[in-house]
Structure 1
């Protein structure tokens, strides 16, 4: 693993994971405190949620980037099996575990039938935050079965076509209200939950990851060539999105809003650019990256547990203090849970496998330090 690839992926994984956790921390903070009177604070929380929603698209982008970078010419034995065995079991396991809090939040008795219904919804409709795994699985399958065809599509055609398709798909579900379904509740559910799952709603990120990985060296050169745009685009796009959101455009409050097709690439480019300048990264970035999958899957479950401790003290503390507390404690607990479960048999099939990239970071620092000491002598 080269320095550039390792640092970039470490940053992308850790920052996208931490971003998703921040989104849920903001949501739980507003639930814990109920009505927040300060318009300034409400605006700040809204802006934070809007910005950090970019975490999930970045997380799924990483999958295709690494596939295109590493397997442009062929696949090793048992390629699919080695990936799906660490994706499907955690998805099902956490879907079943998540059914317990779903039943509780819906005010239903904790019966087998209610748990079974919520488990089936979680697993077959991806009705929980593990839906990103379904997107990743689709990306892996698309790359595996259509790699030769993908290699024949010119970059400009692939990116422009996938962007237009993705934009049209998201715009349809963002701006057209549900129709053709008599039951209002079911219509809303299928419209806003079901539309998330098909890969077409993420296809631009697939092609973006594919071309960035396939043409990696040229991609990095272009980032430095257009340095000014890379550094300013995220700021300008974020400010534009905040202005639009203030006017209720779009009404969707998640990464499935059509506007993220502009923000996410700009953030990805910025992270790649910054990481290319780094000589090292902090150890904790490597650790979070290693356990990003488990943190992503479990942090919102832990927030539901921890909020019971924060609700009684909410009236006496500022919402921003609550935000910091629930964010740090739940991300820390999710990291610890991922670490512990990966130490026991079958734990990785419950929470997801932990990587060992942090060892590379430490080894790199040790090697660099040794070289510097020798040079000094």
Structure 2
């Protein structure tokens, strides 16, 4: 019987839905000219900024857990096909429909921005490919290091990287200056803590899960501290950016990931809804951007209702479009593939205690 890692289903689902909710909030505030006035909602949005880091973490976690330091022959080619081709098609679509290119020259400019300059939500795929390259070339060396000091060091490095981009003046050098632009957040440097945490938690997954309950209160307290720092920096005006490229995000995301593992050590059951969204998560991530910004307002006087309306419609339409296109062989290359993990298999694994 196949062993399923239940925490991954929860991670994918919550990260995916959180991303749609983040953009639903942004859209609602923009259309209502409400930005800066809904502090509570903006803080909630800020707390959801673990979403994209969680997606890139999952990619390395699964790679390390399934293959350890060696990847199977053709692994990178397979990823180029099933991640790279949708990356191109979605960026073409965003360039045409989201940026509304009027001329071919505008299309080329927008397409170049989305492909190479992080101009769209698809940039996370570029980071995932960097993780794959790092794993292929450096996993055999990294595995020799002690995990905890390396992870702590990586969190500190990532924190300093994002802080440098935010607080240091941008270099006038045209090359160095790119570190302050979108190119700077596409580099693996700011995401290295998620790579290393994913690597070591995947390699030593059994050991992690066998011992994590011993550190229940350490993780909970750490998560509370990280959350307090994040909210405090925002409310005090130290960093008012509501995005995942903040200097206080690496520590926060690390604690959120540990909370997921801690939760999984107590609860391994995966509800049907969670598995369903997990199977569609990649498609939802890629497709939702075409709809979330174009929906009108449900009520001109209620931001919460507009957010809920935008969120529900966007998720529903994204799932329906992904389902229809994946009925055709080319569909998975346009909007990403749908997972085919069946609830009955997962539940059977859960009942027989075969689920991680």
TM-score normalised according to structure 2 size? 0.91
Partner residue in 2 for 1:172? 164
What does residue range 148-163 of structure 1 map to in structure 2 within 5 Å?
148-163=140-155
How far, CA to CA, are the matches of 2:69 and 2:237 in structure 1?
46
Does 1:365 pair with 2:347?
yes
Contact 1:283 1:362 in 2 (8 A): no
Query: Which of the residues 299, 313, 317 maps onto 1:333?
Result: 317
Between the aligned partners of 2:225 and 2:320, the Cα distance in structure 1 is: 37
Name the counterpart of 2:113.
Answer: 121
Aligned-partner Cα distance in 2 for 1:43–1:12: 26
What's the offset of the Cα at 1:156? 3.4
The residue that corresponds to 1:63 in the other structure is 59
Kept in 2: contact 1:96–1:119 (CA 8 A): yes
1:223–1:212 Cα change, 3 Å: same
TM-fit CA distance, 1:100: 2.2
Deviations 1:234-261 (A, max 9, x none): 3332233112101222243210101111
Match of 1:374 in 2: none
Q: State the partner residue of 2:333.
A: 349
Kept in 2: contact 1:174–1:251 (CA 8 A): no
* CA distance in 1: counterparts of 2:163 and 2:348, whole angstroms: 50
Task: Select the structure that is richer in helix.
Answer: 1
Q: Determine which of 123, 128, 147 is the counterpart of 1:131.
A: 123
**Counterpart of 2:247 in 1: which secondary structure?**
coil
* Relative contact order higher in (CA < 8 Å, ≥ 6 apart): 2
Q: Distance in 2 between matches of 1:191 and 1:314?
A: 38
Q: Give 2:290's aligned residue.
A: 301
1:73 offset after TM fit, Å?
5.0
Matches within 5 A, 1:73-112: 74-104=70-100, 110-112=102-104
2:209 paired residue number? 220
**Normalising by structure 1, what TM-score?**
0.87
Q: Hey, what's the Cα distance between the residues in 2 that align with 1:368 and 1:173?
A: 45
Decide whether the 8 Å contact of 1:175 with 1:250 is kept in 2. no
Cα separation, 1, equivalents of 2:325 and 2:9: 21
Partner of 1:85, secondary structure, is helix
Q: How many residues align?
A: 351
- Does the 8 Å CA contact 2:99/2:110 hold for their aligned counterparts? yes
1:10 equivalent to 2:9? Answer yes
- Distance apart, 1:211 and its partner CA: 0.6
1:158 deviation in Å? 2.3
* CA deviation after TM superposition for structure 1 residue 2, in Å: 5.7
The residue correspondences of 1:276-295 to structure 2 (distance < 5 A) are 276-295=265-284
CA pair 367-91 structure 1, distance change in 2 beyond 3 A: closer
Which string of whole-angstrom CA distances, capped at 9 and with x for unpartnered residues, describes residues 12-36 of structure 1?
1111111111111110110121136
Which sections of structure 1, spanning at least 5 residues, go unmatched?
Answer: 372-377
Contact kept, 8 Å, 1:294 with 1:352, in 2: the verdict is: yes
Q: RMSD of the TM alignment (CA)?
A: 2.3
How far apart are residue 301 of structure 1 and its match? 1.6
Secondary structure, counterpart of 2:293 in structure 1: helix
Change (3 A) 1:345 1:2: closer
Pair 1:31 & 2:13 matched: no
Distance 2:172 2:257 in 1: 38
Residues 93 and 220 of structure 1: CA distance in aligned 2, closer, same or farther (over 3 Å):
same
Matched position secondary structure for 2:197 = helix
Instruction: Report deviation, 1:305.
Output: 2.6
What runs of 5+ residues in structure 2 fail to find an aligned partner?
Answer: none
What's the CA shift string for 1:203-246, capped at 9, x where partnerless?
11100111111111221133200111223433332233112101
Partner residue of 1:248 out of 226, 237, 258: 237
Match of 1:43 in 2: 39
